[in-house]
A and B are shown apart, each in its own frame.
Chain A
Amino acid sequence: MSRLTRRELLKSAATLGAAAAIGPALGAPAQAQTTQKRELVIAQGGDIATFDPHMSTSANEIRVSFNIFDNLISRYPDGKLHPGLATEWKLQGQTTWAFKLRTGVKFHNGDPFSSADVKYSIERTWDPALKTRVNTVLSTIDRVEAPDATTVLMHTKKPDPLLPARLAFYAGQILPEKYAKSAGPDAFNQKPVGTGPVRFVSWTKDDRAVLEANPDYWGGKIDVDRVIFRPIPETAPRIAALLKGEVDMITALPPDHGERVSGSPTTRMAGALYAGLYVLAVNSKRPPLDNPLVKQALSLAIDREIIVKELWRGRGIVPNGPIAKGDNHFDTGLPPLKYDPKEARERLKKAGYKGEEVVIETTVGYTANDKPMSEAIQGMWRDAGINAKVEVVEYSVRAQKNRDKSFKGLWWSDPTSTLSDPDGMMWRLLSPGGPQDYWRHPKFDELGEAARFSIDEKFRGQAYKEMTAIFLEHFPWIPVVQPYEDYGLQKYVEFTPNPNQQIELRRFNFKLRRA
């Protein structure tokens, strides 16, 4: 008992309680399908710390900031890029992107939006005096020009095919130059002003962030008058709040709780395939992990189907390589990663593996299911004759090991595909000097670099195909699962989750069903 963590105990308590709670006794189903509410309450697993969109990359915070602010370009839940504050964009020559801006847009304080705000916002991301958390995101840009009020030209240092995608994610939110400059970063954070569909009203830390609909939003006023974000850190109370109707939407619904939500007559579950992968990253410098044959065996010895079925309750898919499904250049012809323990043993024999220890350093709850998956994989590896060991590390220890590159073997990483493109995931993390630079291969490096700066999509596709082949021989990551990110919703909420974790409340994606 003493070896159980509090979180695990909480989980089992919740499961116990779930058996006791009689679902169907709740609410009146006939009424629950529609609502007259003018307020939307969203419960997240954690609170926000900042409203300044350039000061954060965390999922809980971007869910708020992407609604207070607009980007030039917007990535819809369908994964495609759509006009935002820019109505058109095109590449001129090799290195100049031209943007035509939307006219008649006003910030929440009444200031008109113009190209000067765009120039200011982009330059603000890398302003050394401000120390933003997104200072490297737009570093391919050399300079920004605003020749007239509705035109912006961005000159990149080298050809950058992914600039529109970069502008659609964090760092790309547009701030009002005049107000942001005069208020300064602290005051701006306390009273943020954007052009987005909701505007800031108040924030009580760890209690609630209150936002109200922007009546003059250029994309049309959203379907409610107020939006409230509440943090409810523990899973069981968060689900209870949804089942009882106190909140309309919850994030981070764990797979083993999905049935409670979909089993209730008033609520439903909605998920999006995560724009990224859950992988065991590998320190390929440590023997025996420097031997590709050993890593191939590690991959072959994992029964991913079982992991998806049992630990994810089917809420995930087995990856087929380093590129997430839904991304550019995802190869639909490639079969899912194979489970073949016999072949794994063969390759271990060929590699001359002599029972050296293979360590998974896992966190508990840093990513969903990290510890249970580690334990399952440890068992599978042992069955295949691998001397596998699981060690538990704390979040900050993981962060430190990440920085020092001092992992003993394998560790969990949940790379997000920030650009819906291999460049924003595989190459961002595995490139030379990148955060997970533990393995080098001249051809892989050459292709990655060339694909980053090529505006020829056919060439890029071929390059990523070849890189995938090299990847599948060397396994700098061992991809394990591409899970769904699930949300719990009241049935009257019409909403499609976005794979990149933002909550899109604009009119095209969010509506309450009225009687």
Chain B
Amino acid sequence: MRALVAFLGPRLFRALVALWLVSTVVFVVMRLSGDPVPLLLPPDAPRSEYARVARELGLDQPLPVQYAVFLANVLRGDFGRSIHFREPAWRVVTGYLPATAQLGLTAFGVALLVAVPIGLLSAVNRNSPLDHAAMGLALIGQSAPTFFLGILFILVFSLQAGWFPTSGRGSWQHLVLPAATLGAFAMASIARLTRSAVLEVLRQDYVRTARAKGLPELGVVLKHTLKNASLPVVTITALQFGTLLGGAVVTETVFAWPGVGRLAIQSIYNRDYPVVQCTVFVSALLFIVVNFAVDILYGLLDPRVRPR
């Protein structure tokens, strides 16, 4: 038990510090970059109106006071009322969360399911046409900007081929193009990393030993190689989760997907502080939770980092 606390304690602490830092940075940046009140009022609104709205939003208080109020409220799970939607920011953000979760998890799952086997096959058949084709595609996937890929997919698979709807959320068909777009980058980098990690492991003595003792090749690859190659893959996968959250902003905008990423963009335009803060907080929380989970997964995968 003590070992477990020693293992988890510092990681948990670091996660909380990260969360606090993220919320503070967002708080400061949002306030430095513009005032929401003029956006809320008609251009001919009198000064008294301005003062009234500012007071109502608590923006007439000095910044440190606003910050203290903000932190105290966050601890209570209260992110304030959305300036734009006029309802609690938390309710707004959680309303958008299922759409993003659906899109993100699908993209993530597809990326993993496609990328790991491809990376593995490429490594095992190194320098074969299959390897070249796969790595060529991965290069495109990694370098093509999300919005370009998204619009390209719409034009080709939706408008020309007519297989999928152009945008919006609804049936599983609606999910295909945005998930492919969003997953492309993660897919490409996971495939490339899997390939190099597997190649690395294939050169190890224990693989030669395994082969020498006459194990079937499939067993060598799956049991001895893949498991040992999985550590860097797990790391990059967790980090890719962040890229995925960032990519959601663009993907959701291109595909008119009603998710948190689009909400974030619009709330920034609208200077809707409470919603932006809540969105960033939730995203950071997700990212931190995933990476925390990966830390624990390490322990399961690699006895060397396991608490003793």
Chain A positions within 8 Å of B, measured between CB atoms, are 6, 9-10, 13-14, 17, 20-22, 25-26, 46-47, 49-50, 55, 57, 131, 133-134, 136, 186, 189, 204-208, 230-234, 236-238, 240-241, 243-244, 246, 394-397, 399-400, 402-403, 428-429, 434-436
Interface residues of B in 130-154 (CB under 8 A from A): 145, 147-148, 150-152, 154
CB of B253 within 8 A of CB of A233, answer yes
Interface of B is mostly: helix
**B residues within 8 A CB of A241?**
166-168
**B residues within 8 A CB of A208?**
168
**A residues within 8 A CB of B256?**
206, 230-234, 237
**A residues within 8 A CB of B269?**
395-396
CB of B34 within 8 A of CB of A397, answer yes
CB of B44 within 8 A of CB of A434, answer yes
A257 to chain B, nearest CB (A): 13
The segment from B116-124, B157-165, B229-237, B278-286 found at the interface with A is B157-165
CA distance A26 to B99 in the complex (A): 30
- The 8 A CB mask of B27-61 against A (1 = contact, 0 = none) is 00000011111111111110000101100100000
Question: What total of chain B residues lie within 8 Å of the partner, measured CB to CB?
Answer: 55
**B residues within 8 A CB of A133?**
40-42
Interface residues of B in 247-288 (CB under 8 A from A): 250, 253-256, 258-259, 262-263, 266, 269, 271
**B residues within 8 A CB of A231?**
256
Q: Which residue of A lies closest to B162 (CB)?
A: A244
Of B34, B43, B95, most buried by chain A (CB within 10 Å of CB) is B43
Q: Which 6 pairs across A and B sit closest by C-beta, in order of nearness?
A: A396-B34, A399-B38, A206-B258, A435-B43, A207-B258, A232-B256
CB of B11 within 8 A of chain A?
A: no
CB of A13 within 8 A of CB of B152, answer yes
Interface residues of B in 83-107 (CB under 8 A from A): 84-87, 92, 95-96, 99
A381 to chain B, nearest CB (A): 26
CB of B155 within 8 A of chain A?
A: yes
7 A-B pairs with CB atoms under 8 Å apart are A17-B152, A21-B155, A21-B160, A22-B160, A49-B84, A236-B154, A240-B154
CA distance A400 to B39 in the complex (A): 8
Assuming the A-B contacts A136-B44, A400-B38, are A243 and B159 also in contact, with contact meaning beta carbons closer than 8 angstroms in the complex?
Answer: yes
CA distance A204 to B263 in the complex (A): 13
CA distance A189 to B84 in the complex (A): 13
**B residues within 8 A CB of A230?**
168, 256
**A residues within 8 A CB of B262?**
206, 233
CB of A207 within 8 A of CB of B167, answer no
A16 to chain B, nearest CB (A): 9
**A residues within 8 A CB of B253?**
233-234
Assuming the A-B contacts A206-B262, A244-B159, A402-B38, are A237 and B86 also in contact, with contact meaning beta carbons closer than 8 angstroms in the complex?
Answer: no
CB of A237 within 8 A of CB of B254, answer yes
**A residues within 8 A CB of B43?**
402-403, 429, 435-436
Q: Which residue of A lies closest to B85 (CB)?
A: A49
CA distance A232 to B95 in the complex (A): 19
CB of A237 within 8 A of CB of B167, answer yes
Q: Point out the residue from B39, B44, B52 that lies within 8 Å of A396, measured CB to CB.
A: B39
B204 to chain A, nearest CB (A): 42
**B residues within 8 A CB of A17?**
151-152, 154-155
CB of A207 within 8 A of CB of B42, answer no
Assuming the A-B contacts A49-B84, A396-B38, A396-B271, are A21 and B159 also in contact, with contact meaning beta carbons closer than 8 angstroms in the complex?
Answer: yes
